[in-house]
Amino acid sequence: MIVVDQDKRKLQKKAATLVEALPYMRKYADETFVIKYGGHAMGDPELARQFAEDITLLKQVGINPVVVHGGGPQIGQMLSRLSIQSEFVDGLRVTCKATVDIAEMVLCGSICKSIVADLNRAGGRAIGLSGKDSSMVTATKMARSKIDPTSNIEKVIDLGFVGEPTIVNPYILKHCIDSDIIPVVSPIAQGEDGTTYNINADTMAGAIAGALGARRFFLLTDVPGVLSKEGELLTELKRKDIERLVADGTITGGMMPKVETCLMAVEKGVKGAVILDGRVKHAVLLEIFTERGAGTLIRA
């Protein structure tokens, strides 16, 4: 069978891609990557399938991926179906007892099991966990306050059963890694008194990455990364760069907590945190296995 020139070029391009990726495969062999998975990437069936294939590939080339997922839109849909009103303060859902029960059901149930099924279908060996399993994450009630614009008095805001991770015991995650299992973690955890808390998935993933001493922490979003005022992607930042960009108004709004989560992770020992666009096909692979990368890398 004669291979036409066009087919040859395609094969040569694939070979060149493998050659470029090989040094990075060696570099990251046996390293741990924590990936926060959410946003549009999780809601699109084709992107979800590709994500599962990419994570499985990482495992097969000797990298140890740990997936932490979100699920805010799915929780909102279930609350609407049950006619339960949602209230938000600074982007955080005020969570009553009924809401945290539903959040646990949706996050640890349908979402987590769907991701696990996708990974297993792609050839991986995945298992679903939450912060409750093996006391992986111990949480405390999140405290928030806000200045009343009329009285200028600081008022404490009760977010209900919204928590933040205070202790992370990575024992069960390390056991999964040693057993060639891909752990998929739902952002639900207990307090020391047994109270169940819903935790922001970005924060949960960053805390887990720090506890594992991960080589990389990937935060998949619906934007390309941190952008300059001219709209250009900033490919690498350090704390001093971020402080300058915050001061001049380049980093604002929803990007602020994401950058803060990445800084927290690198300060806890993660070698680098990456904000990248989960809507881009094979975004994680492009960031890891190519010279140029695909998002914004934040180092200590």
User: What pLDDT sits at residue 65?
Assistant: 96
- Single-letter code of the amino acid located at 25: M
Is residue 119 within 8 A of residue 173, CB to CB? The reply is no
Burial label for 254, CB within 10 Å (0-12, 13-18, 19+), is exposed
User: What pLDDT sits at residue 208?
Assistant: 96
Strand partners, 221: 277
User: What pLDDT sits at residue 149?
Assistant: 64
User: What pLDDT sits at residue 13?
Assistant: 58
Structural domains in the chain, CATH included, are 63-298 (3.40.1160.10)
* pLDDT tens for each residue of the chain, 300 residues long: 444 555 556 555 555 555 556 666 677 788 999 999 987 778 788 889 999 999 999 999 899 999 999 988 888 888 888 888 877 776 677 778 888 999 999 999 989 999 999 999 999 999 999 999 999 999 999 877 666 666 666 666 778 889 999 999 999 999 999 999 999 999 999 999 999 999 999 999 999 999 999 999 999 988 888 888 888 888 888 889 988 999 888 888 788 889 999 999 999 999 999 999 888 888 888 888 776 667 899 987
The set of long-range contacts for 224-227, using a CB threshold of 8 Å and a minimum separation of 24, is: 224/276, 224/277, 224/280, 224/295, 225/274, 225/275, 225/276, 225/277, 225/295, 225/296, 226/250, 226/251, 226/255, 226/259, 226/275, 226/296
Strand partners, 19: none
- Single-letter code of the amino acid located at 254: G
Angstrom distance (rounded) from CA 217 to CA 264: 11
User: What pLDDT sits at residue 53?
Assistant: 93
Q: At 248, is the secondary structure helix, strand, or coil?
A: coil
Q: Is the dihedral of CA 35, 254, 201, 145 positive or negative?
A: positive
Residue with tokens 């994450």: 137
Residue with tokens 């080589």: 215
User: What pLDDT sits at residue 30?
Assistant: 83
- Single-letter code of the amino acid located at 178: D
Q: What is the dihedral of CA 58, 114, 106, 253, to 10 degrees?
A: 40
Is residue 211 within 8 A of residue 268, CB to CB? The reply is yes
